[in-house]
Structure 1
Amino acid sequence: MNMGNFGIQNVPKSKTIGLMEYFSYGIGDFSFCFIYGAIGSYIVFFYTDVACISAATVGTILLLSKIFDGISDMLMGYVIENVHSPLGKARPWLLWMAIPYCAGSALLFTVPDLGETGRVIYAFISYNLMATTIFTSMNVPYGVLSSVMTNSQNERSILSICRASFGALGVFLISSYAPDLVEFFGGGAQGWQRTFLMIGLVSIGLFWFTFYGCKERVGSGVMEQRTGKKSSITLKQGFQILCANKYWFIMLMVNIFYTAMTSLYGMNLYFAKYVIQSEGRNRSMMMCSTFAAIIVPLLIIPVVKRIGKRNVALYGGVGMGLLGQVILMLTAETSLTAMYLGLILRGMGVACVSATKFGMIADSIEYGEYRTGTRAEGFVYSAASLGVRVGSALASAFIGWVLGAYGYDGSLAVQSESAMRGIRIMFYYAPMVVFLALLGLLAFYKLDREYDGIMNILNERHRRQEMERA
């Protein structure tokens, strides 16, 4: 049934999402998370210990870059709403930007022979080229894609779970095996550059697989193709739509704290190297943190359908996350077994949030349409993804600032007692603050139980508009 100017349609059974399309969508985030995981797990270490840039300078570079990154997210939302392609609204960006993504991956992990000041300038430019420009131009449309593939709350939940599971697998592989690949390709700065050139080449094929395997069925882009009438939304209209959407704001904040938590995984390397004095333990610590994120999303599909995305994120995600963090605080330096248990539980908690948050963001698009009468997938998702940039920036910058304030020096084999205290603060207490913030935010998210009623109102509104046009 045609749902009118708002670009929503009931999808016939024959056109619902199949297994291969779920797989194709998930593969996209698998590829994104090679770089996302590398930035979260290794970028501070790469800059401090390979490029030999001071920790405080690294923190400032990342914070300034993420400010630009947040602006680029909003601009990309505007571009998505106003660039019209016969290939769709979201899909074509995965086709167009895959090759630049490959080049940016290698440049991000390159150390030029330019002296200390030159390396700082290069780090700032290359980071913004990759993260602010190329990554944004692909990742924001990819996020929009799930909202235009279907308007079914259940199918969006499964898409979100597929994205989370495949994304976690990508993070797991890059977090666990990047050091081995670096050594395989010659070690040092050369090894890092070659590793991420290879990863970029693989990513081209994966992004194109997602492009060809996914189909846009609903949304304003589909309506434009059916009617031949192109719509546009100004930046001012976009901000007005967002300001009227309380659930978008909640998910923006959830994204900030969730991404801060995943960025704090980077402290595993410092904790392993300096606190328990076994750098090799970093791999097993990363495996505990991320392996749960691969399995948990697949196991919670029936639970999400029964109790809703918000309840899984709140009770499963925050609950297990807090429990795991308490175990780490009490036992990480005295028992490896207990430390691994804490990391697994914390990873399971983070996975529950990851597996549900994308579907919650997609659902907020309908809420925004219900409140304002305008559907704006690009603006809603790009603004929500702003939380990813802000969270990553704040966490990465805070790591650099705290370590710098406590006297951390990446060129030293043994850190001072003050630096060790800074490492412990970021490993033990920062994640606890994040989980408590998520607890407060998710308590106010009620859209799961309101969604069906909102869709009924929207459907009736669209039906009346169809009658008026007829």
Structure 2
Amino acid sequence: MRKFGMRDKLGYLFGDLGNDLFFILVAAFLMVFYTDVFQLNPAHVGLLFLIARLWDAVADVTWGRFIDTRKSTKNGKFKPWILRMSVPLVVSGVLMFVTIPGMSDGFYLAYAYVTYIIWGTLYSTVNIPYGSMASVITADPVERTALSSWRTLGAQVSGLVINVVGPMILFVNNRPDADRFFLAALIFGGLAIASYLACYKLSTERIVLDETEKPKMNLGKTMKGLVKNKPLIWFLVVALTFMIVFMLIGTVNVFLFKDYFSNAKALSIVGLLQSGAVFVAMPFIQPLVKKFGKKEVASGGLLLAALVYAVLYFLPNLSSTQFIAILTVAMFGYGIFNLVVWAFVTDVIDYHEYLTGLREDATVYSIYSMARKIGQAVAGGLGGAVIAAAGYNPKLQAQTASTLDGIHTLGTLVPALVLGAVFLILVFLYPLNKKRTLQLAIDLAEKRKTAK
């Protein structure tokens, strides 16, 4: 079998490129599309996001368990599902941005519920096998860090396209345009399908268990292993909390620049610099992880981001340009965390196998994905609720001063506090430092040999 190399890295990059061409579009702009195009109350939108993401969390675990009961094919265990489900996923995504003139507010709210929940459910059918695939592409911890970095690079390329180009084409006179949103959905959908095909063609699944020797699925044993898996439990807390603040930042930034700074186009610069920060950090990640460890590098990035957001809170009179210049340092900090985070998943999957003797990549990954979805649910509900609580009214040409101050606090102080909390959890409670991660790989390899 072909050795692990650049082809696998590119294939894995394309997988997240396909995922995030729509996911980032939805995360960054669906809230403002619903409030300003569909004219929905932001609190109602927040409730929709909360309900949909909680449902998606259940769908993730259900689909992950289903995938683990399937046998590998000649093309792998996970790749075929990416190929099968990508087109239905993209079609459902495009439908979210269809506007039917003359319909009532109730119709638009119902339409938003149906299309958004269908899209989220189908997203699980592609994302769970894609995320699980990393642990069977290679068993080497450093190579897995490389996959994590390339995956994040794929997400950043998507972010670069959507966050930079998006505001330029989606907004007309500082307001979202319905026809342009639909056109963007069609374009990004086509690019997503092409990316999924590239992921399928370029990636290779190398770790394949002998189906005749593989232990039978045992839900009780699986659940006991998950409960005892302390690295997984604390990593889930970190992932959930980080996802809440990361999604909240994305939601609030649209209103921060559109209303507080009166400059929606500046979001393009934010998107460009956010991706640029990751591109700058990426070449250093693998050497840093090799020297210091995943936990150590990721926690350093979180601390940097928390401190910068705290500084921004105490500087309320900055121009949009000055704000963005300082914000770039924070984006560099949490960009470092994002470059490493996916490699944590493969470690906790290995730890589960070490504890139970069961190789359940999709089940464990789906638990992690569930935590992310819960984080998205909380962030979606919280985002709509806090924007509404700040007094945002989409029918006003200009928001009140108290609303603008509230939006500024949401975009600075809240990220500072939450990112600081995530840093503390990772440093003091997550147990797999560099030494223990390397030892886990050695112990697991010996255990597999003994089992044969």
Q: Is TM (by shorter chain) over 0.5?
A: yes
Counterpart code for 2:152: A
Select which of 148, 152, 157 maps to 1:160: 148
Match of 1:454 among 424, 440, 448: 440
Counterpart position of 1:464: 450
- Further displaced range: 412-421 or 331-340: 331-340
Judge conservation of contact 2:277–2:328 (CA < 8 Å) in 1. Answer: yes
2:108 to 95, 119, 128: 119
- Is 1:306 aligned to 2:276, yes or no? no
Deviation at 1:280, TM superposition (A): 2.2
User: Equivalent residue for 1:275?
Assistant: 260
Counterpart of 2:95 (choices 107, 120, 124) is: 107
Between 1:447-456 and 1:38-47, the stretch displaced more is 447-456
Task: State the match for 1:266 in structure 2.
Answer: 251
The Cα shift of 1:456 comes to 2.9
Instruction: Give the Cα separation in 1 of the matches to 2:439 and 2:177.
Output: 57
Residue 266 of structure 1: how far off its partner (Å): 2.5
**Percent of paired sites with the same residue:** 25
Report the CA distance between 1:338 and its aligned residue: 3.7
Cα 1:116–1:327 shift into 2, 3 Å: same
Structure 1's unaligned 5+ residue stretches are 1-13
Between the aligned partners of 1:52 and 1:442, the Cα distance in structure 2 is 41
Query: Partner residue of 1:11?
Result: none
The range that moved more, 287-296 or 88-97, is 287-296
In structure 2, the partner of 1:207 is 196
CA apart distance, 1:15:
4.0
Comparing 52-61 and 434-443, the one that deviates more: 434-443
Q: Distance in 2 between matches of 1:464 and 1:362?
A: 22
Confirm whether residue 421 of structure 1 aligns to residue 410 of structure 2.
no
After TM superposition, the structure 1 = structure 2 runs for residues 170-185 of structure 1, keeping only pairs within 5 Å, are 170-182=158-170
> Which residue in 2 is equivalent to 1:36?
23
Shift, 1:74, TM fit: 0.6
- Structure 1 counterpart of 2:140, which letter? S
Aligned to 1:436: 420
- Worse overlay, 152-161 or 196-205: 196-205
Alignment of 1:61-140 (within 5 A): 61-86=48-73, 87-113=75-101, 114-131=103-120, 133-140=121-128
Aligned counterpart, 1:8: none
Q: Does 1:320 align with 2:309?
A: no
Asked whether the equivalents of residues 59 and 401 of structure 1 are also in contact (C-alpha less than 8 Å), the reply is: yes
- Rounded to whole Å, the distance in 2 between the matches of 1:465 and 1:306 is 32
User: In the alignment, is the contact (CA less than 8 A) between 1:327 and 1:339 conserved in 2?
Assistant: no
Q: How many residues align?
A: 445
Residue correspondence of structure 1 range 291-302 to structure 2 within 5 A: 291-302=276-287
Give the 3 Å change call, closer, same or farther, for CA 211–231 of structure 1 in structure 2.
farther
The Cα of 1:230 is off from its aligned counterpart by 6.4
SS in 2 for 1:445: coil
Question: Secondary structure of the residue that 2:314 maps to in structure 1?
Answer: helix
Deviates more, 1:281-290 or 1:389-398: 281-290
Whether the 8 Å contact between 1:16 and 1:150 is mirrored in structure 2 is no
Are 1:17 and 2:1 an aligned pair? no
Give the deviation of 1:332 after TM superposition: 5.2
**Paired residue type of 1:453:** Q
Once the two structures are superposed, residues 156-204 of structure 1 have per-residue CA deviations (whole angstroms, 9 ceiling, x without a partner) of 00000111122112112111212334469xx722221221122111211
Cα distance in structure 2, aligned partners of 1:161 and 1:46? 31
> Given residue 311 of structure 1, which amino acid in structure 2 is its aligned partner?
E
Q: Which residue of 1 aligns with 2:366?
A: 382
The offset of 1:276, in angstroms, is 1.8
SS of aligned partner of 1:223: coil
Contact 1:254 1:387 in 2 (8 A): no
- What SS does structure 2 have at the residue aligned with 1:92? helix
Q: 1:109 to 1:235 in 2, by over 3 A?
A: farther
Q: Which moved more, 1:61-70 or 1:97-106?
A: 97-106
Unaligned runs of 5+ in 2: none
1:60 to 14, 26, 47: 47
Residue identity opposite 2:447 in structure 1: R
Deviations 1:67-90 (A, max 9, x none): 101101111110110122413221
Whichever residue aligns with residue 332 of structure 2, its letter is: M
Whether contact under 8 Å (2:163, 2:270) holds in the other structure is no
Q: TM-score, normalised by structure 2?
A: 0.93
Q: Aligned partners of 1:235 and 1:117: how far apart in 2?
A: 43
Query: Among residues 304, 323, 334, which one is paired with 1:350 in the alignment?
Result: 334
**Other structure's SS at 2:338 match:** helix
Query: What RMSD over aligned residues (CA atoms) do the two structures have, in Å?
Result: 2.1
SS in structure 2 at match of 1:278? coil
Deviation at 1:232, TM superposition (A): 4.8
1: CA distance, partners of 2:396 / 2:278 = 34
CA distance in 1, matches of 2:18, 2:62: 23
Alignment partner of 1:395 is 2:383: no
How far is 1:43 from its partner?
1.5
Aligned AA (2:400):
S
Match of 2:271 among 280, 283, 286: 286
TM superposition shift of 1:417: 2.9
